[in-house]
Amino acid sequence: MTQVLRSVVTGVGGYLPDQVVTNDDLAKIVDTSDEWIVERTGIRRRHKASDDQPVSDLAVAAARKALEAAGRSPEDVDLIVVATTTGDLTFPATATIVQRKLGAPVGVAFDVQAVCSGFVYALSVADGFVARGRAKCALVIGAETMTRLMDWTDRGTCVLFGDGAGAVVVEPQMGEGTTEDRGLLGFALRADGTKQDLLYVDGGVSTGQVGKLRMQGNQVFRHAVVNISEAITAAAADAGVEVSEVDWFIPHQANLRILEGVARRVGIEDHKVITTVADHANTSAASIPLALNTAVQDGRIKKGDLLLLEAMGGGLTWGACVVRF
């Protein structure tokens, strides 16, 4: 057997802002109803950051909990990757702001921008450092304040999103080169820039404005199940596992109908699916680590379990990865 350095998740943390916005609250500002939102999306409520809470604050809160769970302190951290599409400023990267606020020493820190697929992308990028022995203690964070990108007159989008952050600590550990090793075992990342018009923000540096999220939801929906399922099959093949071996499926929490449709298509039983969309809504890059944190905290996910993560978002980008926890 060949000894292989693996990127192992050693701690998980999450943070949700205090303010909760229910579907009934939104029905007071746009023509919608709790019944429509629950039936079409599974969403019941979402959290919203306060005006004085930049996304880096959410990221730092989640990171502190992940470090505590891993038994590490900020001084140990030598790599920070933040997956976000709602960074505090155009630059610097939110990761460097997180580094400063945590009091982590000089190291590597940068953001990954792949919208809702950001966490899957960021974990795969961090693996490039950790599994090559270039980082000893990495923080991979998904953090978003999506509510700041909402057009509060567009009922087709403003009911779908929420704010939050989730983080994992990733450390190198030697494995035996088998699928029993703990760590990131395989992944598949995809992007198709020709589908930009389906989901984008109509602002940015070139426009001089932050902009608002625009989405042709039903078109995105059409691509989601097929695309994600293909990436899952590819990630499982990359890891050398069968999808049937997966203990827990942790999908991006955009819409209950999408995640259940994907699970059905790839043959994952309902009881293995972790869903938080009802309480968190779509928190973009934060949704997977937040869902992971929820299931670790409530005791469902245990050390050694085989996890399948997947996401799809603006770009379009999508991807999946297989992790032995």
So which residues are the catalytic ones? 116, 252, 282
Distance CA 10, CA 66 (A): 8
The answer to whether 43 contacts ligand ACO (rule: CB under 6 A) is no
- Cβ atoms 309, 116 nearer than 8 A: no
Distance CA 111, CA 102 (A): 16
Q: Considering only residues 282, 283, 293, 294, which one is a binding residue for ligand ACO as defined by CB under 6 A?
A: 282
C-alpha dist (Å) from residue 295 to 60, 96, 198, 227, 273? 21, 29, 32, 26, 10
Residues 100-139 that bind ligand ACO (CB under 6 A): 115-116
Distance CA 130, CA 138 (A): 7
The count of C-alpha atoms lying within 13 angstroms of the C-alpha of 71, restricted to the half-sphere facing its C-beta, is 2
Distance CA 163, CA 144 (A): 6
Q: Which is nearer to ligand ACO, 70 or 201 (CB)?
A: 201
Q: Which is nearer to ligand ACO, 107 or 211 (CB)?
A: 211
Helix 94-102 with 55-70: angle, nearest 10 deg:
60
CB of 254 to ligand ACO, least distance (A): 3
- DSSP string of 225-265? HHHHHHHHHHHHHHHT--GGG-SEEEE--S-HHHHHHHHHH
Dihedral sign from CA coordinates of 226, 191, 232, 13? negative
Question: Count residues contacting ligand ACO (CB under 6 A)?
Answer: 25
Q: Which stretch, 1-9, 36-44, 172-180, 228-236, contacts ligand ACO (CB under 6 A)?
A: 36-44
Q: Considering only residues 254, 273, 277, 286, which one is a binding residue for ligand ACO as defined by CB under 6 A?
A: 254
Q: Which is nearer to ligand ACO, 222 or 302 (CB)?
A: 222
CB of 129 to ligand ACO, least distance (A): 25
Q: Which stretch, 37-45, 162-170, 187-195, 292-300, contacts ligand ACO (CB under 6 A)?
A: 37-45
Q: x/- binding map, residues 295-324, to ligand ACO, per CB under 6 A?
A: -----------------xxx----------
The answer to whether 155 contacts ligand ACO (rule: CB under 6 A) is yes
CB of 221 to ligand ACO, least distance (A): 4
The count of C-alpha atoms lying within 13 angstroms of the C-alpha of 140, restricted to the half-sphere facing its C-beta, is 32
- Cβ atoms 262, 224 nearer than 8 A: yes
Q: Considering only residues 22, 34, 36, 238, which one is a binding residue for ligand ACO as defined by CB under 6 A?
A: 36
Q: Considering only residues 98, 184, 258, 292, which one is a binding residue for ligand ACO as defined by CB under 6 A?
A: 258
Residue length, the chain?
A: 325
Q: Which stretch, 51-59, 102-110, 155-163, 168-176, contacts ligand ACO (CB under 6 A)?
A: 155-163
Q: Please, what's the b/e burial string for 5-14 (b: 16 or more CB within 10 A of its CB; e: otherwise)?
A: ebbbbbbbbb
The answer to whether 147 contacts ligand ACO (rule: CB under 6 A) is no
CB of 116 to ligand ACO, least distance (A): 3
Residues 191-230 that bind ligand ACO (CB under 6 A): 199, 217-218, 220-221, 224
Closest C-alpha among 295, 292, 296, 299 to residue 321: 292
CB of 291 to ligand ACO, least distance (A): 14
> Which residues in this chain contact ligand ACO in the complex, by CB under 6 A?
32, 36-37, 40-41, 115-116, 155-156, 159-160, 199, 217-218, 220-221, 224, 254-255, 258, 282, 284, 312-314
